[in-house]
Amino acid sequence: MIQYLNLKKLNAQHGEEIKDAINKVVDSGWYLRKEATKQFEEHYAQYIGTKYCVGCGNGLDALTLIFRAYKEMGIMKDGDEVIVSGSTFIATILSITENNLKPVFIDCRLDTYQIDDSLIEQAITPRTRAILIVHLYGKCAYTEKIRELCKKHDLKLVEDNAQAQGCRFGNKHTGSLGDAAAHSFYPGKNLGALGDAGAVTTNDPKLESLVRDLGSYGAKIPQDFYIKGRNSRMDEIQAAVLDVKLKYLDEENRRRREIAEYYCKNIHNPAIKLPNSDYIKTSVHHIFPVLCEDSIDLMHDLFASHEIISACHYQLPPHKQYCYREYADIELPNTEMLFTHERSIPLNSTLTQEEIETIVEALNSYRYYGASQKNMG
């Protein structure tokens, strides 16, 4: 059987280093906000290309703390609007609404799966305070047009970099392109911890200080709470593990791209739509999305006929979830098409050549006998 992702196998690549790092933390007697966290924050900020990195509990907290800090700074207030791609995980939207801000959904492009920058300016109002871009699936969502719009309308540019560690725009990493960025180190990410962890990167010293204090109950000095914060801290073990794995991130991303290129060159099936060549070259391939008319049928065929486990990355976009039913009437046709027809096939650095070839053969042999593919863009 070919698993979609085998985390045990993935971490075993650096198993001895990881165990040594964990043992060092255990033996130190310090488990929160000590040397391992400080070291990872320094190394990750250097890698991303920002002055500051603040570790926190998870990717959702990272985004939530950014918007909360901007409110504390007086840049945003209740009811202000944040423009955001509708094609994202619900955590992106939760970070906005948890801060009593309003998401303004923008449809995605079908060639990149990222926010359609041609639709943004018409959505800007006097209440708009930020554009939140999501580097979905490992592909950079940033464009120069988005930066120009932020400058023209005096908007903050926030990045959701949960899926794109190591991705670049020109010579800069995602996570350094905007005013602030949120990162998730959920175990399945390209840079994954052994549990939950997240981080904020920024060049803004005031934002860095506020995010750090807000994540420590609202205190800069222990027991002196000057703002109402929360508990969101990266623990020492996760920091130590991430610091080990960070050294191998670029190498593993290169391997992901090699596999993606192999898929692109060797999968030839009119029933399956692959990402385009530019996408293949520039993404760090957190996932490898393929589109088909009936993604459930493809899932069953891959497993029943070839023992390959695939994944449906997201089943419903946030604006169609019951908790956001007030946005249910919004029309985002490309986003809804993507969520309906997308299937993620295995792609990670532990796949063997034999497994890769089996996946290619399985996709080439797949036959769909229903409607045509005309609805897939």
Q: Are residues 211 and 261 in the same domain?
A: no
Looking at residue 313, what is its pLDDT? Answer: 84
Q: Are residues 78 and 161 in the same domain?
A: yes
**Is residue 359 scored above 90 in pLDDT?**
yes
Q: Are residues 54 and 143 in the same domain?
A: yes
Q: What is the CATH number of the domain that holds 281?
A: 3.90.1150.10
Q: Are residues 215 and 256 in the same domain?
A: no
Domain boundary among 220, 246, 272: 246
What CA–CA distance (Å, rounded) separates 275 from 64?
Answer: 31
Q: Are residues 153 and 275 in the same domain?
A: no
User: Per-residue DSSP letters for 7-39?
Assistant: HHHHHHTTHHHHHHHHHHHHHHT--BSSHHHHH
Q: In what order do the strands lie in the sheet with 156-160?
A: 52-56, 198-202, 180-184, 156-160, 128-134, 81-85, 102-106
Looking at residue 372, what is its pLDDT? Answer: 47
What CA–CA distance (Å, rounded) separates 182 from 53?
Answer: 10
What CA–CA distance (Å, rounded) separates 341 from 375?
Answer: 9
Whether 1 maps to a domain, the answer reads no
pTM: 0.96
What CA–CA distance (Å, rounded) separates 236 from 27?
Answer: 12
Query: Tell me: the pLDDT tens digits for 207-249?
Result: 999 999 999 999 999 899 999 999 999 999 999 999 999 999 9
Buried/exposed 294-318: b ≥16 CB within 10 Å, e otherwise: bbebbbebbeeebebbbbebbeebb
Q: Are residues 262 and 201 in the same domain?
A: no
**Is residue 373 scored above 50 in pLDDT?**
no
104 φ, ψ (degrees, to nearest 5): -115, 110
Whether 301 maps to a domain, the answer reads yes
Token output for 8:
């045990």
Domain that holds residue 153: 7-106+114-246
Looking at residue 364, what is its pLDDT? Answer: 97
Domain boundary among 223, 246, 269: 246
Q: Are residues 257 and 136 in the same domain?
A: no
Give the count of domains, the chain: 2
Domain boundary among 197, 215, 246: 246
Looking at residue 276, what is its pLDDT? Answer: 96
Q: What is the CATH number of the domain that holds 150?
A: 3.40.640.10
Measured between alpha carbons, how far is residue 252 from residues 3, 5, 6, 43, 192 in Å? 18, 14, 15, 18, 12
Q: Are 90 and 321 in contact (CB under 8 A)?
A: yes
Whether 31 maps to a domain, the answer reads yes
Q: Are residues 226 and 85 in the same domain?
A: yes
Q: Are residues 205 and 288 in the same domain?
A: no
Token output for 328:
């249910």
Confidence of residue 377 (pLDDT cuts 50, 70, 90): low
Whether 2 maps to a domain, the answer reads no
Q: Are residues 267 and 232 in the same domain?
A: no
What CA–CA distance (Å, rounded) separates 340 from 367?
Answer: 18
Token output for 29:
């007697």
What CA–CA distance (Å, rounded) separates 184 from 6?
Answer: 19
User: What are the DSSP E strand ranges found in the chain?
Assistant: 52-56, 81-85, 102-106, 128-134, 156-160, 168-169, 172-173, 180-184, 198-202, 219-221, 224-225, 288-291, 342-345
Q: Are residues 68 and 93 in the same domain?
A: yes
**Low-confidence winner among 97-106, 119-128, 254-263, 306-315 (lowest mean pLDDT):** 306-315
Amino acid at residue number 306 = H
Q: Are residues 152 and 236 in the same domain?
A: yes
